[in-house]
């Protein structure tokens, strides 16, 4: 499995390199497809996997939906599809994080207090970034599609509101840290509230940006989805998810910065 993950990681790096130039973009896309196929197969054949039927059903359903969407979307509407796919990544990070909290790994009881704390923080970060990515990507998709107005929604005190949401989401982890190793209904409520807050933050952040700047937003959400995947990789102790998430996160952030420079926009704002 380690060798398969290593090969997949190299292919993902080659894919990014290929996609950087128009002449090699098709080859880069092929590298990514092969790398993802190897990664999925290597993950599915692990001895600890028990429910092959559920996984196979998910792969088939996802493949059908993906092929259907890709066939129907014109090249000019590709940013819409990318934004929609980013929302799926964010939603997956949220679902995996909540599942990992409700049904913790078997070796959690044998972990030290510090290791359990780190594991919970990994879950928290993955879920928070995933929720923000999901809602932000849905709003970006709706703006690009014309389903909602492309005009920026600039609420008074929006920066302070964003700060309050971030601080409140961070503080909600405190009750869970007090009850390490004992996920209960009350603690799950804290996590769900955090998901709601970070989801609201994603909506608020993207609604405040005009439709003309949506390509930059989609690129930034691409970065967020990568960091959500990396956090999920730490959560699941999956090296390939960590590497791939870091690649996507860093490349998305760099692309966003380059696009902001080209469009004379502030990257921070």
Distance CA 213, CA 78 (A): 15
Stated pTM of the model: 0.86
217 with 136, same domain: the answer is yes
140 with 249, same domain: the answer is yes
Contacts of 109 (CB under 8 A, 6+ apart): 181
Residue range(s) defining the domain that contains residue 186:
74-262
97 with 191, same domain: the answer is yes
The C-alpha torsion from 139 through 141 and 146 to 149, rounded to 10°, is 20
In the three-class reduction of DSSP (H, G, I as helix; E, B as strand; rest coil), residue 153 is classed as coil
Say if 165 falls within a structural domain: yes
183-225 pLDDT, tens digit each: 666 778 888 999 999 999 999 999 988 877 888 888 888 898 8
Does 91 have pLDDT greater than 90? Answer: yes
What number is the average pLDDT over the span 83-93? 89
194 with 258, same domain: the answer is yes
166-183 pLDDT, tens digit each: 999 999 888 888 876 566
Tokens 């590298």, residue located = 31
8 A C-beta contact, residue 231 and residue 125: yes
Structure tokens at 195: 């998901």
32 with 13, same domain: the answer is yes
| Res 165: pLDDT | 93
Between 27 and 22, the higher pLDDT residue: 27
65 with 93, same domain: the answer is no
Distance CA 257, CA 251 (A): 10
Domain termination site, one of 14, 46, 72: 72
Say if 269 falls within a structural domain: no
Confidence of residue 269 (pLDDT cuts 50, 70, 90): low
Distance CA 144, CA 204 (A): 16
| Res 199: pLDDT | 95
Structure tokens at 261: 């420079």
CA–CA distance from 108 to each of 180, 227, 239 (Å)?
10, 24, 19
115-153 pLDDT, tens digit each: 888 888 888 999 999 999 999 999 999 988 888 887 888
Residue 19's nearest CA partner among 30, 10, 8, 9 is: 30
Domain termination site, one of 72, 89, 107: 72
Q: What is the DSSP letter of 213?
A: G
Domain termination site, one of 72, 97, 130: 72
Does 26 have pLDDT greater than 80? Answer: yes
Say if 268 falls within a structural domain: no
Distance CA 152, CA 255 (A): 22
- Residue 267 CB: number of other CB atoms within 10 A? 13
109-120 pLDDT, tens digit each: 677 878 888 888
Contacts of 13 (CB under 8 A, 6+ apart): 247
Say if 184 falls within a structural domain: yes
- The domain total for the chain is 2
66 with 89, same domain: the answer is no
| Res 181: pLDDT | 59
91 with 59, same domain: the answer is no
* Torsion region of 156: left, alpha or beta (phi above 0 gives left; psi -120 to 50 gives alpha): beta
46 with 126, same domain: the answer is no
Structure tokens at 269: 């704002």
């Amino acid at each position: 499995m380690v060798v398969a993950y290593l090969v997949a990681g190299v292919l993902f790096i080659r894919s990014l390199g290929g996609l950087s130039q128009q002449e090699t973009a098709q080859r880069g896309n092929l590298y990514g497809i092969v790398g993802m196929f190897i990664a999925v197969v290597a993950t599915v054949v692990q001895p600890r996997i028990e429910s092959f039927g559920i996984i196979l059903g998910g792969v088939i359903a996802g493949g059908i939906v993906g092929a259907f969407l890709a066939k129907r979307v014109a090249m000019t509407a590709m940013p819409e599809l990318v934004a929609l796919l980013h929302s799926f990544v964010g939603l997956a990070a949220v679902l995996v994080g909540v599942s990992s909290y409700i049904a913790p790994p078997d070796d959690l009881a044998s972990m030290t207090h510090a290791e359990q704390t780190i594991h919970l923080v990994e879950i928290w970060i993955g879920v928070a970034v995933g929720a923000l990515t999901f809602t932000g990507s849905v709003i970006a998709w709706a703006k690009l599609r014309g389903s909602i107005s492309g005009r920026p929604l600039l609420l008074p005190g929006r920066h302070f509101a964003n700060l309050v949401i971030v601080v409140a989401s961070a503080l909600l982890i405190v009750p869970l840290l007090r009850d390490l190793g004992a996920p209960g209904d009350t603690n799950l409520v804290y996590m769900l509230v955090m998901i709601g807050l970070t989801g609201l933050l994603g909506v608020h952040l993207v609604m405040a940006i005009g439709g003309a700047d949506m390509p930059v937003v989609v690129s930034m959400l691409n970065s967020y989805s990568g960091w959500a995947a990396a956090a999920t990789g730490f959560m699941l102790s999956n090296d390939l998810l960590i590497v791939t998430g870091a690649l996507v996160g860093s490349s998305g952030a760099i692309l966003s910065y380059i696009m902001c420079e080209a469009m004379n926009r502030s990257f921070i704002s």
